[in-house]
Structure 1
């Protein structure tokens, strides 16, 4: 059983706290591996580990067999030198001048705050929320399927948050029994996986600590095993065993168990080159004993398997000695090589404590000055400093309609009854008009243990906890502090976009208030989903079909609790232009006393993405000269124009730009705020379908207005600005752009043809086709419009007999073929359909509606 008093006491020792997420591609075994750690911590029984999937706390997770929501579990382990050498132990010198931690002899409690995250791309926002409050990540890879598209996506997210990874190569039993690979083939397979992960780490890692993230089994930051059967190992376990036999130091032995190191039994010598007499060290001393034990315990008599295991120091009860077949294999392997030992060694020795991690993570998390009291306390992970807490997501509580806030304490100590400042994402320090700030008391603080909670009086810096009572004031995420001048912790950037939408309505009109309230709760419960009301329609926006299906079921069954009608999934399109305006467009104010002259043109390729990432905007605000050089050198901007970029939009950070290119206009800054407001309006509701505009640069060419300020107020300038911008879009060859998925299909080689044919029918563009060595599987990567993806899974299963598995991830936007101004084109039909759905006039308004004449 879990001793909560001991766990809470251990939380004070931050050197022995680990905050980690388990991340991987879908169905690579995160949850089954997590079971092994839960069993070791006493939360579930050892017999249940691998089958229970304890972090699947929702009914739909148990039915579908995949993780949908990330689940937080706090565990406490008694550590001893059998399991690990703790990283802050005394250091000894080896003969090869390498510092190695000396094994501790005293027992120490290690607290692991683990977050089991989803692997399906539709739930990538849950991974982002998990990584924000973690310091390390265990990356799980199926040894047969290898590094897949979502593995790369979650690794890229982790590195952006400066998370240090370790690697678990899972399902090794598949390579032995399903594929029946030789030890050398297994070595080549796992070696390719380690190399592929290191290539991703080299590509995306940033910061001074980036050299420390690379993975090497000889460093014991890579483990191997089978989560389903509860066994696993890393090389230090075998190195310790063989170092006694060969009378070699453990540190030297472990290096011989990986890479180009070969052993000759005849000569009893090691060499660097293979020959007929020698065998690779990893194969000879690691894989061959493991494979022999697996096959003996599964296929031979139980007596021979038990005798073999007992020689290795494994003991069995009388009941266990009666087991046969797979049950015996599972029992023997769990006792000989417990997966929890291998994982705990990596977690304790190679993942950073919050004390270490916050020294380099604070600069990318805290928006304020790096020398203010909050930043300094965060860097020290100071439990007695000013409170700084980040809420990364909300989870439904046992009290229906209420939510627990899942949070990371970066500094200070949060306690029950404490008076705090609750700051939402829109909070601006120093502003007198802050509506996103609440000063309230914390009702309760909790330790999260999967589907259950344990109340505690307080939680110190460096830990993850649950908070009760702040869900009324925070929408999705936010910052909690006690320091009056604190800035926010940075808002999370998601790797997926809500590009698929569904309209919902109630069956009984009397239930409409319940739908509205249910949508508010749904929006709070999911980090990514957007719930909007547009033209009388209630819209739910999600990352994909599965994400929307889960959200709509939650809305109907948990939050609104009324029957609903759903539309077919729809795609969110964007509007853009493909040429410069063929004329300067004039719009007059309603009083005819103000005139604005505008043109539109497309932004250079790649600039929209830079603006959306926020990197360029931050640089633009902090260093005008650097941003000028960046735009001139990379995108061919006129250096005079870069100094007069007024804003980005919509919402101040969108991928469109308003530039003042006028000359000699008197008192122009008097109307700047109104022009900017008009630009935000026009960029959020384009001329074709009143959808968001993307990739357009609007140029203010000239302006004329009367001297009296009463004649040029916002009521005159804002509508005129919008009309001028819509006219300039109509004269610059407007187009629709559609979202595009990168789809990765994994299938047997004999199903490749069927998958390729289906992709071609769906406007797919194949970019890569890989035949996996030593595996019957192959992968196809292709670009496919999101609009064509609906029902793709079912058709692919039908065409390939259920043997192919697709994975979608939003990749980019592309021009939709056809002229939307031509009603007979595909683009024109889509425009007409969207306008009809939104209740707009069927035809696109003519240029004369926006373009005025002198």
Structure 2
């Protein structure tokens, strides 16, 4: 048992977790000397590489001085907190990684709180000390204060601190460059305890799922006590305490970036179990004769929902493979098995479902994944979840942190206060201003794009859920109206050129449009129906002037998240494998007017 260490790496997004895991893999000779591995080895999902963030937690195992170290790389974004909460159950210690300039950020606090509650032994790593304007000593004091505020025990407060740079590949306790990261690896062996094992029969809690086209579904978890063997009969205990007897066909432990087949796994190690069925995250694999369940995994509640429905636009079925409501519900049910922070509820319309998640990024990653798999769907405006507490309507509030150059601080404060945010902290941090707000989650929808525009792209924003508080008044939404297509067809340069003074376009000439599709942003606050498919009338007289099509401004490109933040209650997004289109829910203008009268009558 002394030869295993299970450690999770936690940090705020972009503080260097995945780069640190890369260095651990290289320094423990997982790869051949001449092997080209590239950067960010653990971020092997397409979306993770494109977005530059970790979305899914992953296990990797290395050997150092005869000790097996199971390293768990966790997401840093608050929307993927559900991933972090369950994988921390496999760890006996945590490396808290903090940027030497930014210091502890909202997600640092959120994840650290979870780790301290589980009684894990922390090591603090202050990363990026090679950056200009870094302040490692101030950051160390801020981390200690954070530990104290989170009610850390005396033992947890005596955390060892390492300074260094993941990028340059060195860490030690003195903030002086060294050859490699071996001081940090020695610190893991010294300070992280070996797994505690209690006497008794077999217990493994399934904390993540894997899939192989050859082996099928695979259950992953830490052996809490006992020993599991290949070919053994075990009991699968559900959260409702129902029990089924099943047989273990194959067993694997983690080795390097892959898995290694084994005959048995002892308590304290992390293993992958093959051959069982109908298991879910949170279930317990227990002894067949004396099954004892472990405590259920508690995951924080979702704070936002969106409607997911089939694509019912005129372009339905042109682009995707999976287009029916049966395809949609099967895919959502499959996602529920591994995405614990997600919830799905049916609505009155059999073709539409309400999907609950942690935030816009949490939901957008799911939509983007489905889009790449060949699904066509329509998603509505994100809505926060309103709860009734002690007879009063309450909404979720978040702690918002903004670091912005001092010249733009007043603009940032103005934008947030317009959205019912209250300024809590304002202090200088190097050459920038550090602002902290308490803001309703509703106020965050659409704030990022406005903030980046107002601060010339200089603002760094982060937020995390804090608590439910009484509902605040109306929050101003989008200031401008939209341009809506009048007819179906192909947009022409002639029409778009003549309409440029009406607003900015989301389409280029030559793109297919349909009635009710949103094709641009109006320069005023009302919606305007325009004809962009009208062609230039031709006659047999040559025009004196040249065609003006080369004067057309380029279209505005919006990402899926930006579209989700942009739309209003009467609008939705059509998502297909190759296109993201904005549209009105009611495509015909007379239907929209009729609906408006119904709403006004209410």
- Are 1:213 and 2:26 matched, yes or no? no
- Are 1:122 and 2:79 matched, yes or no? yes
Partner deviation per Cα, 1:50-77 (whole Å, 9 max, x = no partner): 9611110211111111111111111112
Paired position in structure 1 for 2:535:
none
Report 1:3-402 matches (<5 A): 14-44=1-31, 52-77=39-64, 79=65, 109-174=66-131, 178-179=132-133, 189-205=135-151, 210-215=153-158, 221-235=160-174, 287=176, 290=177, 336-339=178-181, 341-354=182-195, 358=196, 378-380=197-199, 385-395=200-210, 397-399=211-213, 402=216
RMSD over aligned Cα atoms: 3.0
Paired position in structure 1 for 2:296:
491
1:451 deviates by 6.0
Select 2:234's aligned residue among 420, 443, 458: 420
Select 1:405's aligned residue among 187, 205, 219: 219
Q: TM-score, normalised by structure 1?
A: 0.52
Paired position in structure 2 for 1:566:
379
User: 1:213 is paired with a residue of what secondary structure?
Assistant: helix
Select 1:540's aligned residue among 340, 346, 355: 355
- The 10-residue stretch of structure 1 (109-118 or 409-418) with the greater mean CA deviation from structure 2: 409-418
Which structure: larger Rg?
Answer: 1
Whether the aligned pair in 2 keeps the contact of 1:54 and 1:450 (CA below 8 Å) is no
1:818 deviates by 6.5
Whether the aligned pair in 1 keeps the contact of 2:304 and 2:384 (CA below 8 Å) is yes
Whether the aligned pair in 1 keeps the contact of 2:286 and 2:293 (CA below 8 Å) is no
Following the alignment from structure 2 to structure 1, what is the Cα–Cα distance between the partners of residues 362 and 100?
A: 27
Following the alignment from structure 2 to structure 1, what is the Cα–Cα distance between the partners of residues 432 and 473?
A: 38
Following the alignment from structure 2 to structure 1, what is the Cα–Cα distance between the partners of residues 56 and 28?
A: 22
- The aligned length equals 473
User: 2:436 is paired with a residue of what secondary structure?
Assistant: strand
- The 10-residue stretch of structure 1 (156-165 or 528-537) with the greater mean CA deviation from structure 2: 528-537
Whether the aligned pair in 1 keeps the contact of 2:245 and 2:288 (CA below 8 Å) is no
Select 2:274's aligned residue among 443, 450, 468: 468
- Are 1:744 and 2:557 matched, yes or no? no
1:454 deviates by 2.9
Following the alignment from structure 1 to structure 2, what is the Cα–Cα distance between the partners of residues 171 and 532?
A: 44
Whether the aligned pair in 1 keeps the contact of 2:57 and 2:83 (CA below 8 Å) is yes
Select 2:341's aligned residue among 511, 521, 528: 528
1:502 deviates by 1.5
Partner deviation per Cα, 1:458-477 (whole Å, 9 max, x = no partner): 2211011222233x322332
1:137 deviates by 0.2
1:45 deviates by 5.5
Following the alignment from structure 2 to structure 1, what is the Cα–Cα distance between the partners of residues 233 and 57?
A: 29
Whether the aligned pair in 2 keeps the contact of 1:145 and 1:777 (CA below 8 Å) is no
Paired position in structure 2 for 1:5:
none
Following the alignment from structure 1 to structure 2, what is the Cα–Cα distance between the partners of residues 42 and 115?
A: 18
Seen in structure 2, the aligned counterparts of structure 1 residues 444 and 533 have a Cα distance that, compared at 3 Å, is farther
Select 1:796's aligned residue among 430, 451, 461: 451
Following the alignment from structure 1 to structure 2, what is the Cα–Cα distance between the partners of residues 460 and 119?
A: 31
Following the alignment from structure 1 to structure 2, what is the Cα–Cα distance between the partners of residues 511 and 415?
A: 43
1:450 deviates by 7.3
Following the alignment from structure 2 to structure 1, what is the Cα–Cα distance between the partners of residues 157 and 204?
A: 30
1:425 deviates by 1.5
Following the alignment from structure 2 to structure 1, what is the Cα–Cα distance between the partners of residues 105 and 367?
A: 29
Select 2:261's aligned residue among 440, 452, 455: 455
1:160 deviates by 0.6
Partner deviation per Cα, 1:130-188 (whole Å, 9 max, x = no partner): 211101000101101111122111111101111110011100110xxx23xxxxxx6xx
Whether the aligned pair in 1 keeps the contact of 2:235 and 2:287 (CA below 8 Å) is yes
1:443 deviates by 2.7
User: 2:301 is paired with a residue of what secondary structure?
Assistant: coil
Instruction: Note the residue ranges of structure 1 that are not aligned, 5 or more in a row.
Output: 1-13, 80-108, 180-185, 236-285, 291-335, 359-377, 428-435, 577-693, 697-734, 820-829, 844-854
Seen in structure 2, the aligned counterparts of structure 1 residues 547 and 345 have a Cα distance that, compared at 3 Å, is same
Following the alignment from structure 1 to structure 2, what is the Cα–Cα distance between the partners of residues 497 and 805?
A: 26
In proportion to residue count, which structure has more helix? 1
Following the alignment from structure 1 to structure 2, what is the Cα–Cα distance between the partners of residues 524 and 554?
A: 15
Seen in structure 2, the aligned counterparts of structure 1 residues 402 and 771 have a Cα distance that, compared at 3 Å, is farther
Partner deviation per Cα, 1:558-615 (whole Å, 9 max, x = no partner): 4xx42222112122112x3xxxxxxxxxxxxxxxxxxxxxxxxxxxxxxxxxxxxxxx
Seen in structure 2, the aligned counterparts of structure 1 residues 203 and 52 have a Cα distance that, compared at 3 Å, is same
Following the alignment from structure 2 to structure 1, what is the Cα–Cα distance between the partners of residues 447 and 36?
A: 35
Whether the aligned pair in 2 keeps the contact of 1:233 and 1:337 (CA below 8 Å) is no
Select 2:410's aligned residue among 753, 760, 764: 753
Paired position in structure 2 for 1:764:
421
Paired position in structure 1 for 2:370:
555
- Are 1:446 and 2:252 matched, yes or no? yes
